[in-house]
Amino acid sequence: MKNSYYKDFPFAQNVYIFKSNSFECKETPDLNVYGIGFQDFYYKDVNYSNINIIQNEKPNILIMHASLDSGSEENREYNPILESRLEALNMDYIALGHVHKPYYNEERHQKIVYPGSLVSQGFDEVGEHGMIAGEINEKRELSYKFIKLDDTEFTKLEHNVEKYESKEDLIEGLNELSLNEKNLYEVILVGSKNFEINVREIFKLITKPNILKIKDNTSLKYNLDEIQNEKTLRGLFVKELLKKKEENIYSEEEIDKAIEIGLNSLKE
């Protein structure tokens, strides 16, 4: 890629960067290692027919940045390929990059593997992280195992708020959570709430240092269909806001927040 950091960085002698837009083979005393370099941030339409498999007794290994069986439009920009297409290459082992979560199956000796990143870098990469260590014997039989390298895991934890009657109760409950001290948490609030929840305000009062984020996925406890039929001020209030929701004047989230604040004020 133009202006790529890889072009100028002084890598060690035992590091080889695949730079070509066609497949290369780097032959070692024990292995034939194949790869292809990305020529741009996005890369697709790779020609797999130009892989020239070396016919010798050495195992053939392919390393490549790719989106395996990609479904989203975004992933189809990062060298998309079907698993069946890779299997047809008859490689002894294929290590893929792009997905940072490990993808492997030790029991069936899966040959196409995402080792994942060595360490987790955010809440979009939850779970264990490490490396795949494997062996290919004289019969070209593959065995490997995952070795965890990072003691810290990013973890998403759902927490139901239905039992809490106030903001103060919720803050106390969050501060009393039993958490793994080595992990970093995003707490996702769920369930029907009995009071207005301001995530920023609550987060400031959390004493658990490994709670890094709080997300509000709660719902209103009120039965809005019943309330809008009441001949009361709160009935008129809810009816008017639900009408605005149908007219798409404001977003659903904005309407729900307005209803929540309004109903809490009207019951005081």
DSSP 35-85: E---SSSSB----GGG-----SSS-EEEEEE-EET--STTGGGB-EE-HHH
- Give pLDDT, residue 71: 47
Task: Indicate if 158 and 196 belong to the same structural domain.
Answer: yes
- CATH number of the domain encompassing residue 10: 3.60.21.10
Tens of pLDDT, residue by residue over 79-105, are: 667 778 888 888 899 998 877 777 777
Task: Indicate if 37 and 135 belong to the same structural domain.
Answer: yes
Report CA-CA distances (Å) from 74 to 21, 43, 54, 159, 249: 21, 11, 34, 31, 31
CA–CA separation, 150 and 103 (whole Å) = 16
Task: Indicate if 101 and 177 belong to the same structural domain.
Answer: no
Task: Indicate if 142 and 233 belong to the same structural domain.
Answer: no
Pairing, β 93-97 against β 112-113: parallel
Domain with 237 in it: 222-268
Task: Indicate if 15 and 127 belong to the same structural domain.
Answer: yes
Q: Which residue ranges of the chain lie beneath pLDDT 50?
A: 71-72
- Give pLDDT, residue 156: 94
Taking a C-beta distance cutoff of 8 angstroms, is the pair 65, 75 a contact?
no
Q: Which amino acid is at 80?
A: P
CA–CA separation, 96 and 86 (whole Å) = 11
- Give pLDDT, residue 267: 67
Taking a C-beta distance cutoff of 8 angstroms, is the pair 185, 155 a contact?
yes
